[in-house]
Chains A and B, each alone.
Chain A
Amino acid sequence: MAEIKGAVVVDVERCKGCGLCIVACPKKVLDHSGDVNSRGYDYVKMVNPDACIGCTSCATVCPDSVITVYRAKI
């Protein structure tokens, strides 16, 4: 059966590591990467990509328009 799957792309250099997307995600897909971008911010990444449903919650609350969200039936 076809399943709705999502994925996000984080624009690493724009991310300020504020963490608002992490708590907005209902599926606990995102977390800090533990690495920093050129501006010194601990940017976020998908740590649990299988769980992403492409709901856009993370991108919607992001103040810096960092996240692009994809959703597809696969």
Chain B
Amino acid sequence: MTDQELKEIMKPENIVYKKSGLLRDNIMHYCPGCSHGVTHKLIAEVIEELGIKEQTIGISPVGCSVFAYNYIDVDWQEAAHGRAPALATAVKRLLPDKYVFTYQGDGDLASIGAAEILHACNRGENIVCIFVNNAIYGMTGGQMAPTTLVGMKTATTPYGRNVDRNGYPMKITELIAQLPGTCYVTRQSVETPAAVRKTKQAIKKAFLNQKEKKGTSFIEVVSTCNSGWKIDPIKANKWMQDHLFKFYPLGDLKDSVKDDPESYKQYIE
């Protein structure tokens, strides 16, 4: 291709993909190839496309994504470890016209914060919950999480997770789908262009559910932590496809509205 041809192509009107305007210019602290970056980008793109930047408040977690508020240019509150759904409850109830979303890892959500997420979903808080499940505590150096697969080696299970000693891996998304307050529960991933597009559609749908006051929308993103897993980013994606997807199958677990409160009155009448 000649320089002239390249110049012809690289005109502003020919741009078909560029960094979301809602992502700041700073460089994210994540390890190369980390799924958090892709997931951040999708949230930014959705908020930008829906034109709700000024109405959106994110609740960031403790974990590698603790600095999410540095990257996506909306208002944020930082929660104590695991407490994002409780804080989101307060923010949404005080400011019901805002779009409120939580962003949490699997240690944050399924371990220390298990009570908060289950009860927020059970109450049917009108929020969006994004759950990045990389089956490990990334931030603290790769310890076992509730989501770690049996046999998976981590800093705290050097011989592999053992059920007798460490318990079973937890499918918390399946638990959440049982709760009457949820309207949309789905499990997605971000390792291929097709998967990224599907996850973006899921996030958009979740924000629109909030607009329609349908209940809690919960999106699990099965993810990699190549540093914690101690493999390179390309192998990490393959390992996720070969192993995590078998235990955490992708797809919608629920797509409706929260239960009708009227249907609960019969028991006392």
What is A's interface to B at a CB cutoff of 8 Å?
5-7, 9, 11, 13-14, 16-20, 23-24, 39, 41, 49-50, 54-57, 59-72, 74
Contact = CB atoms under 8 A, between A and B. Distances in A.
Interface string B38-82: 100100000000000000000000000000000000000000000
B17 A60 contact: yes
- Chain B: number of interface residues, binned into ranges: 35 or more
Q: Which of A9, A60, A69, A74 has the most CB of B within 10 A?
A: A60
Contacts of B1: 5, 7, 49-50
Chain B contact surface mostly: mixed
A6 B38 CA distance: 22
B14 interface: yes
A63 B37 contact: yes
Q: Which of A9, A17, A60, A63 has the most CB of B within 10 A?
A: A63
Given A18-B233, A20-B237, A72 B23 contact: no
Interface stretch (B137-145, B160-168, B191-199): B191-199
Given A60-B193, A74-B8, A74-B9, A41 B32 contact: yes
Given A7-B9, A20-B233, A49-B6, A64 B16 contact: no
Nearest to B26: A14
B20 A65 contact: yes
Contact of B9 (A13, A20, A70): A70
A63 B38 contact: yes
Nearest to A50: B1
Interface of B: 1, 5-6, 8-11, 14-20, 23, 27-28, 30-38, 41, 190-193, 196-197, 232-234, 237
Contact of A68 (B19, B38, B197): B19
B39 to A, nearest CB: 9
Contact of B33 (A6, A9, A18): A18
B13 to A, nearest CB: 9
A70 B11 contact: yes
B30 A70 contact: no
A70 B31 CA distance: 27
Q: Which of A24, A64, A67 has the most CB of B within 10 A?
A: A64
